[in-house]
Amino acid sequence: MLAAAAGALGLTHSETPCRAVRSDARSALWLGPDERLLIGPDGAGEELAGLLQRALAELPHSLVEISHAQTAFEVTGAGAAAALNTGCPLDLDPASFPVDMCTRTVFAKAQIVLWRTGPETFRVETGRSFAPYVTKILALPAREPLP
C-alpha cells in the first residue's frame, strides 16, 4: 500500500523509519509505523488527496487533511540545532540526526514534527495555536548569543 501511495505522488517508498523522501515540491515524512506526513505546495491538498484516493481505492487506508490545523517554519543557520535544543531533547548532531531524518517530538511543552532538510536547516511543523509559543522560545537564543 505504501509503495502504491508513494508511486501515485511521484515519490520513492522509503524503507527507513523516521526519514523523509522528496521529489520536486512533494515530500513524505515517515513518523510512525502507520503514519506519514505528506507535504506539498500550497493549495495542492485536493490534488494530492485525489491522487491518493485513486491509487488506494481498493486498499484499506485513512487519509486526513490537516493543513488547516498545522503551520510550518524553517530554522536555519549555523546555530539552528543549538537554538532548537533550547526546547527539544533530541541529539541534533548530524551524526545522530542526519539530513532527511524526521520525527515527532516536543519543543518545550509543544508537540512538533522536526525534519532536518539540510546540514543547517530544519523544518518545524506544529499546531497553529502553538506557533507563537514555539517561535517566542526559539527567538530567545537570538537575543542571547550561544557560547
> For 11-62, what is each residue's pLDDT tens digit?
887 788 999 999 888 999 999 888 888 888 888 888 888 888 888 888 888 8
Q: Can you identify the CATH homologous superfamily of domain 70-143?
A: Probable tRNA modification gtpase trme; domain 1 (3.30.1360.120)
Please report the pLDDT score of residue 56 as a whole number. 87
Q: 71 vs 16, 87, 94, 143, CA distance in Å?
A: 25, 18, 25, 24
**Ranges for all domains in the chain classified under CATH 3.30.1360.120:** 70-143
Please report the pLDDT score of residue 44 as a whole number. 82
Cβ neighbours of residue 5 closer than 8 Å, sequence gap 6 or more: 28, 36, 52, 55, 56, 61
As given in the structure block, the three cell numbers for residue 48 are 494530492
Q: Which residues pair with 22 in a beta bridge?
A: 27
**Helical H runs in 21-103?**
45-55, 80-84
- How confident is residue 6, by pLDDT bands cut at 50, 70 and 90? confident
